[in-house]
A and B are shown apart, each in its own frame.
Chain A
Amino acid sequence: MKRSTLKRADVLPFINCIPHGIALIDVAGNLLCMNDYLEVISGYKNQDVVGISARFVLRSSLPKKNNPIDKVALTREPAIVETDIISATRKKMPVRITVTPFAGGDTQSCVLCFIEDISFLKKLDEHYGGEIRSFGIRGHSKAIQDLLDFLPVLSRTDATLLITGETGTGKDLLAQAIHDGSDRAAYSFIKVNCGALPGALLESELFGHVRGAFTGAHTDKPGMFRLAQGGTLFLTEIGDLPLPLQVKLLTVLDDKEFFPLGSSKKVQVDVRVIAGTHWNLDNLIKEEKFREDLYFRLNVLRAHVPPLRDRQGDVKLLADYFLQKFAVELKKVIQGFTAPALSLLMDYSYPGNVRELSNIIECAANMCPEKKITPEYLSDNIRFPSLSSPSEKGTKVEKTDGEQILRRLSEDRNTIFADNWKGTEKNMIMETLLFCKGKKGAAAKELGWGRSTLWRKMKQHGIS
């Protein structure tokens, strides 16, 4: 007892200087001493509670059995837990308790509990969790943080917004986040893919029709604009919108009213329009495939979703997130990636952006029987990027000299992939020509085509 009193006297002046709760607890879970801050929080005086089980003093929601504080006392491994305690003022305080083994003297070891009040952090978490984080946009990179900082501004207004970004970057997610953070969140968020339907059908889809408007129109159809009344309409792939419909959309954006197909009754709508595209609309305007006036009407606000290769450090975060998500879905225990697999993931350029990363991780999570993902379970795109990257393949194959191609092809013919039949056919022709040392007659025979067919296809693919 004398020794322990001496220890308290040694430790107390030091721990009293710290503006957080600190308690020293012995291996049996009894309190040895606590600092002034914790005395105020708990409402007890040191001298009254020394020797009493710390759980009665701290009043946390940690369980009696398997209590992390007891575990640390046994294992001597530090631990951090988030819980809540009831203060002397009867306030339920969220706290983070860091428990570390502490050599409190030459005969007795104990644990040190560092108790931080995290009420403020929790409030911030609730605030931002409701506005940004829960919308599923993840990333710590500057590029994505800049976008997230801009998000409340985009949500607060009803102005038309144009979201640009490469395919798979998450334009839809951003549109949904903007809607969810806006005053229109209680109403519908409707997404229409302008490239998915032919013009006539798309007009009916967007603006609706009345019964008898055209053959097959057996009933009235409200259209997406009316279904999104009060909410947000997200027109994705706006670059693929047919020119005649662009005019009608422009009118609706200006007047907030339109005539459904076959109807003489004007419909007024209160809808916020967000458009998304992976095309460069400036180029489409130059090619006269997109109306300039619609572009100006849509481009009131603009947000660009950065490609994954520009999001420094987000690949690991997203890879971990997707792995955790798919492991839970597949009910598998996968702890992470091996160092070589992680290195491959970090070095890849991701032409398909976050969608491609998600697919790669989903595939690996499905195939991998190990506890950690190894490189062999990553797709060939990652392992052999120079051969299989769809965006790079065309140029790379043409630039490389014939012998290299032949060697690479003969090494593993199956590693050549193409994103479509056209690419596959081109590869096949080139491979055969190289195999036949440029003799077109032999190549045609090898391919089972006539010379003229081979010549025509070579011209089609631009192979000289």
Chain B
Amino acid sequence: MRILLVLQGDWIAPRFDLATEVLLAIIHKGKVEGKPREILLSRLSGEELCGLIVKKDVTHVICGGIEEGHYQYLTWKGVDVIDQVIGKARYALRLAKTGQLVCGTVIGKG
């Protein structure tokens, strides 16, 4: 399972199309394989981010708000999109590993 978390600092970014960085983690048998990789994006673009997700063979995307067009594209490409998530990325990843993260989850308060 390859999970991509759309970031704003330590938190899940509120907007997929306005994200500047992402975290890519590979989960195998419920554990993170190696060190999750942070990727800085060259510019703000939902389309480019979709391209990157497909290119990296990501299976799950965790983000805040995402436009219908991007959502449909990713699901059509077989990517499982868990959107409207609020919370710190590391907690979101922890829940995702165990399959507990669903759309609209609010993880912590800050």
Q: Footprint of B on A, CB under 8 Å?
A: 43-44, 48-49, 51-53, 55-59, 61, 64, 85-92
Contact = CB atoms under 8 A, between A and B. Distances in A.
A64 B13 CA distance: 11
**Interface of A: prevailing SS:** loop
12 contacts: A43-B104, A55-B14, A56-B12, A56-B86, A64-B8, A86-B65, A86-B67, A88-B84, A89-B68, A90-B65, A90-B66, A91-B68
A90 B46 CA distance: 13
Nearest to A42: B84
Chain B interface residue count: which class? Answer: 20 to 34
Given A59-B14, A64-B8, A90-B83, A48 B106 contact: yes
A137 B25 CA distance: 56
B68 A51 contact: no
Interface of B: 8, 11-12, 14-16, 18, 64-68, 71, 83-84, 86, 104, 106, 109-110
A53 B110 contact: yes
Contact of B109 (A51, A61, A89): A51
Residue of B8, B14, B16 with most chain A CB atoms under a 10 A cut-off:
B14
Contact of A52 (B15, B68, B104, B106): B106
A49 B106 contact: yes
B83 A52 contact: no
Contact of A56 (B16, B64, B83, B104): B64
Nearest to A89: B68
Contacts of A49: 86, 106
A53 to B, nearest CB: 6
Contacts of A61: 15, 18
Residue of A52, A64, A86, A87 with most chain B CB atoms under a 10 A cut-off:
A86
A253 to B, nearest CB: 50
B60 to A, nearest CB: 17
A59 B15 contact: yes
Contacts of B104: 43-44, 88
Contacts of B83: 90
A58 B109 CA distance: 15
A56 B18 CA distance: 12
Contact of A92 (B12, B67, B110): B67
